[in-house]
Amino acid sequence: MSEPEILFLTESINRFRFDTLILVGGEPTLYIPVINDLLSAVAYTPRVVITTNGGFAVTEELAEKTLRQITGLNEVQLSYDRFHSEFLAMENVENLKKACDRLGLRFSVVLTIQSPLDLALIAQLRKSGEFTIGVQKVVPYGAAKENKISYAYPSFDKEILTQYCPNKDGMVYMCGRGFSVCDIPRRGYEKYFFRTVEQLRESGFYRQITACSFGELAKKVGLHEGTLSAEHSCPCVLCAELFSGPEENSQLRP
């Protein structure tokens, strides 16, 4: 991030006083000076969380030393999946958990699964101690789509139509793009990112995605349950279908 972008972002944070700031990557621990420049300019005390791959935690001492460098850190989330389990030693997980305990930081794991079989990784993680493990499914975008490793739903789950965007109560800032509730950098989605928080909140996209369920949005565009496939059980895939339809048929506007 450039200095002007850091300044602009901190001004936005100070103005809207978000309760929690979650720093994700890439790998946040590779950009600690930038993170500290950002956080040192925040004029209040938000909850600060990082999401990490844990690669730096080769020893408990190094894990603790690294985490100590981050200004005002409150929580560490370890991103874990089948791929990580092949190259990230369980010692790293244990070192990270112990370092968090020593520093008084909350530690949790976000387990991303390709199939229900991946839930077996929970038992492996549990050997490192007691902590919250959240489970999410691999979304079919980017490298996951190219490598065909996204979660395969057996059939369309109509319950998704009663649900809302999982990000509707938060906000994403993507470097060089701006603010959105969408955290997937898909080509063509630039129109759903906005330069300022005000522009996002005033947009039709924001009003609709935060106020309407997926079923309500589907009715607006004339999308019927019978036309939806198993992959539309994924919130992000269904959202893409809703907001990427033919312009003349869509009632959804940025």
pLDDT (mean) for 68-84: 95
Per-residue CA distances from 66 to 32, 37, 49, 144 (Å): 9, 16, 14, 29
How many Å apart are CA 149 and CA 140, to the nearest integer? Answer: 8
Residue 246: pLDDT above 80?
no
CB-based contacts of 181, cutoff 8 Å, min separation 6: 165, 167, 168, 170, 171, 172, 200, 206, 209, 210
Q: What is the mean pLDDT of residues 18-41?
A: 94
Q: What is the pLDDT of residue 186?
A: 65
pTM over 0.75: yes
- Please list, in sequence order, all residues whose beta carbon lies within 8 angstroms of the beta carbon of residue 104, skipping any fewer than 6 positions away: none
Count, residues in the chain: 254
Across 228-252, average pLDDT? 78
For 83-111, write each residue's pLDDT tens digit: 888 889 999 999 999 999 999 999 999 99
Question: What's the topology of domain 1-137?
Answer: TIM Barrel (3.20.20)
CA distance 159 to 175: 34
pLDDT of residue 248: 34
Range(s) of the chain covered by CATH 3.20.20.60: 1-137
